[in-house]
Chains A and B, each alone.
Chain A
């Protein structure tokens, strides 16, 4: 299985909105609404930000939202803040009791 495809980097200014895409196939993202998104700061463990495509765990800001269209999932961060600068990874259920991660996207807040 190949990793899901994410842009290597995105950037935005404080207050703006950005969107990170996560492209898969009809065997993973397109077949299951089970995409999750994780935020990771350097040297730290990942943190769950979005699950089941568009749900937020308790404590995660409502500036984070998720969506899916066909074989592509997206994470949108609105009202960008300096603290949002981190790496973001998508993950999808891929059938047969397996999961698949994206390659990761580094978000830079200008």
Chain B
């Protein structure tokens, strides 16, 4: 069955960086994209961006585009999201999800990781 398994919780100080991983299995990794979505405590979902696994093309939300990098390693079927220059308002649960897409249109997100809590605190 399809599974996306994320790395464990992280604690960082303001100004530091964090890199979250998302290991995929049960499907052909390169046939899909991976998106990252975050959820601050008690808040809604915020789309951060996505990567097309086959060619590595990325597109990021304006709010984080200067601080985020999304990559994949096809040899290990793992996606990564690195967020730099962390601030307290980056404290959130970060989810990866599999993207169904057509050309560069994101269609829907049909399988999700379990989430990774990133806490930014001095």
Contact = CB atoms under 8 A, between A and B. Distances in A.
Interface of A: 1, 3, 32, 34, 36, 38, 45-48, 51-52, 57, 89, 91, 93, 96-104
Given A1-B61, A96-B59, 17 more contacts: A32-B105, A36-B107, A36-B109, A45-B115, A48-B108, A48-B109, A51-B108, A51-B110, A52-B107, A89-B44, A91-B45, A91-B47, A93-B106, A99-B106, A101-B37, A101-B44, A102-B44
Contacts, number: 68
Given A97-B59, A97-B104, A104 B109 contact: no
B88 interface: no
A91 B44 contact: no
Contact of B95 (A36, A45, A93, A102): A45
Interface in B27-43: 35, 37
B14 interface: no
A57 to B, nearest CB: 7
- 9 closest A-B pairs by CB: A51-B108, A45-B112, A104-B44, A97-B59, A36-B108, A101-B45, A97-B104, A99-B47, A103-B44
Contact of B109 (A3, A91, A96, A98): A91
Interface in B46-92: 46-47, 50, 59, 61-62
Nearest to B106: A99
Interface residues of B, number: 24
Contacts of B50: 97, 99
Contacts of A57: 110
Given A34-B105, A93-B105, A93-B106, A45 B47 contact: no
